[in-house]
Amino acid sequence: MDLEHSPAWGALTKLHAQHHHSTIAEHFALDPKRAARLSIQHDGLLFDYSKTGLTDSIKAGLIALADQQALDTQKNAMFSGAHINNSEDRAVMHVALRAPRDAAYHVDGRNISDDIHDTLDHMRRFCDTIHKGEWRGHNGQPIKTIVHIGIGGSDLGPYMVCDALKDFALNGMNIHFVSNVDGAALHNCLGQINPDETLFLIASKSFTTEETLKNAESAKAWFLKTTGAAHEAIAKHFAAMTVNVDAAVTFGIDADNIFGFGAYVGGRFSLWSSIGLPIALYLGFDHFTALLNGAHAMDQHFLHAPNHENLPVLLGLIGIWHRNFCTYESLAILPYAQNLTALPAYLQQMDMESNGKTVDRNGRDLPYATGPVIFGASGTNGQHAFYQLIHQSQTIIPCEFIAFKTALSPLQDHHDALLCHVLAQSRALMIGRKSEATAPEKHFSGNRPSTTLIVDALSPYHLGQILALYEHKIFVQGAIWGLNSYDQPGVELGKILAKEISGALPTIKNGQSATTSFDPSTQNMLDYLFKN
């Protein structure tokens, strides 16, 4: 039976019709214990979802929807190594990447845990040689700077983690990230570094990604020209995270400095794999291990906790309620931590690339909406950017606030003010404010839903928990919508067309007509940009 015609979906549609005129504030007035009932404390986290429109009957209906869609069965299939990425015929096993050494995770009858921990051991040894000063560059200088070259999931994850946890960085270690094919990105980076003490990390699963390879080749050319070193020096200043060992070796990278990962690792879920090498180099391997441990702890909670008190399940079901029954099209991710400035962009890619789809895993065109538009910013900066629309626009945008109990800085009064702001924002969204007739512009309608996740501290362990929480939230929603959340065909078309345009450039630059036929708009812009 199609989801939209199923009993659980129909029951939730009726519940929305019954309750959509009720306000969140009215729910609180009727139930003084609502906040305690609709919040969960778990392992240093407090998740409060009482400021949504959920009632006991709606929550029960959403859990019934999860049961109807066999969420537990689908979850167990992922953890057991089934090929849930059916379009690419692959298992999806990022959970295995952060499991302990004695765990057994199987793909196609083979325990992959041994391979994973062999790679982790390789990464630790490599990091130790850098951190202890045993690794020396071509002229004997120790490595003090890391330049990570990648794009998409190979860039956003490591960048976000390193930025979030920079207070844990090893003394004397610097890091830069280059992703955009825009030459300004690489040029600006190279102007800040000393090549003699720099290690370049090239992250590309296939070692064929256009943007990454162009940046890598330019970085290599710059290094050789600036240092005057022989080509053999590349081996002392470049390492790679890839499955294409031959291509990396051809580039000039020593085979001992190539770190692989399995086909079961998707790019936007890859920071737990060897793609996390820049994290381990910048923060130290023990902090990288703590990040993995936090994620594994959330994996176990997701796997074993009952749905009515399972954090990823509840967060995912709330999103289903908002997207499909309340028809809210967007979602704001609002971390009240300056060090999490990059988190909304990371979650944007993870969510929108996973669930931004119009066909299910069997190819059926879907009549219902799937992934929302994700955006956000760190508080309180976002308050002075787009909160005006969130509070007073006719467009209702659910918000997911993230706050931290413990300050990262010694400025406790600043942290107190920050926490006051995050609590005030969720309260203002709920209660609104009635204005005098003479000042209608000051009216706030309120009744705008939000959840709040309060975390004990922004540490490697707790960040691992947060990231795994959102990974599993996306799994929950994709499972219910019937999606394959682990392919990304929408990324490919633009790449194909870019190659067609690139192939036409020499002809156009010579003032001739391209042999490829483009639409008039594209042709007009090509002529303007490239014709002499």
Rounded to whole angstroms, the Cα distance separating 90 from 82 reads 8
Between CA 61 and CA 67 the distance in angstroms is 10
b/e per residue 336-346 (b: at least 16 CB within 10 A): bbbbbbbbbbb
Contacts 24+ apart (CB under 8 A), 505-514: 505/530
- Which residues are CB-neighbours of 142 under 8 A, at least 6 positions away? 130, 133, 135, 136, 197
- Interatomic CA distance for residues 157 and 147, integer angstroms: 15
Catalytic residue list: 353, 384, 495
Helix or strand (DSSP H, E) at 8: helix 7-19
Helix (H, G, I), strand (E, B) or coil at 453: strand
CA distances to 74, 362, 488 from 84, rounded to whole Å, are: 8, 12, 14
Return the amino acid letter for 527: D
Is the bond preceding residue 380 a cis peptide, omega within 30 degrees? yes
Burial of 392 (0-12, 13-18, 19+ CB in 10 A): middle
Whether the CB-CB separation of 332 and 401 falls below 8 Å is answered with no
Q: Which residue has the tokens 């890091």?
A: 175
